[in-house]
Amino acid sequence: MDHKEQFESVGDGLLVRVPAKINLSLLVAGKRPDGFHELETIMAKINYYDEILIESNPKGDIALVCQGPEWAPEGQDNLVYKAARVLLNACGLAPDIKLTLTKNIPAGSGLGSASSDAAATLLGLNEYLDLGLATPDLAKLAARLGSDVAFFLNGPLSFCTGKGEKIRELSKNFHFLALLVLPDISVSTQKVYANYRHDQALFETLSTAINNHIIDNRIDLVVKMCANMLEIYCFGLESELAELKADIETLGATPCCLSGSGSAMFSVLENTDREKAGELRDKIQAKTGCKSIIVTGNRW
């Protein structure tokens, strides 16, 4: 999959590309007084995109059209619509915008698609309407839309804490090639967290190792740890995902890691030979029946 720019003019409109993310690590530090979980996670954008086309709407109000191979909620339940409403209201602007969302990234996959859609809407409208809002201004609006939205305003590689909204950008020099496997299973993040049982000793051990690797700028060593404290709880809900992971690793994509709370999995390949990566992708698709694509880290 080729690298593309985030913005592209299309007629009088603006096409905004919306990258997915993978969690190179995901640790849970415990439950907060507000009921959310405290996280430590390294997230990386990848070159696998939804698209949002922004155009004027002469009929007034915000019009949202959803299309593409994957499902997305219609109308006011969609984060694209909510993000547009939040931004336009905050700036006191008339809601005369048409948004066409092409949904390629599956929901319930742990790839952050809805959050990325929301961030791209904020960034795209800021560009399309020439608002000149800085990232901190957009981040305040993002906080009203979801914990992961702030990451997609930054990046492409960041260490995220709090609920995921506290962002520290990491070195942009970590280049990787990965196989992304997309099972036809939608996982409920809410249910995964509801099943989660905290292991403080495990958290402290993993956190110490990961933070030391960050200090040494060895994100490659973080990847080899394949640390995701939600994985066993995701697999507890969807046992076929545990079997799928074992099959993928048997075929040579190892370690195979869960992204977010699932269901997507990825394997970062040490050998960056695309031809061999393609052969491995084909083997995985033939053996498991799951769509598998080759991705790299996104540039922005």
Annotation says 21 is catalytic: yes
Tell me which of 34, 148, 220, 276 is the catalytic residue: 148
Alpha-carbon span 87 to 81, nearest angstrom: 10
Tell me which of 21, 82, 98, 103 is the catalytic residue: 21
Alpha-carbon span 196 to 261, nearest angstrom: 11
CA 203 vs. chain centroid, Å, equals 22
Strand partners, 179: 267, 294
- List CB contacts of 227: < 8 A, sequence separation 6 or more: 25, 26, 27, 206, 210
Annotation says 148 is catalytic: yes
Residues noted as catalytic: 21, 148
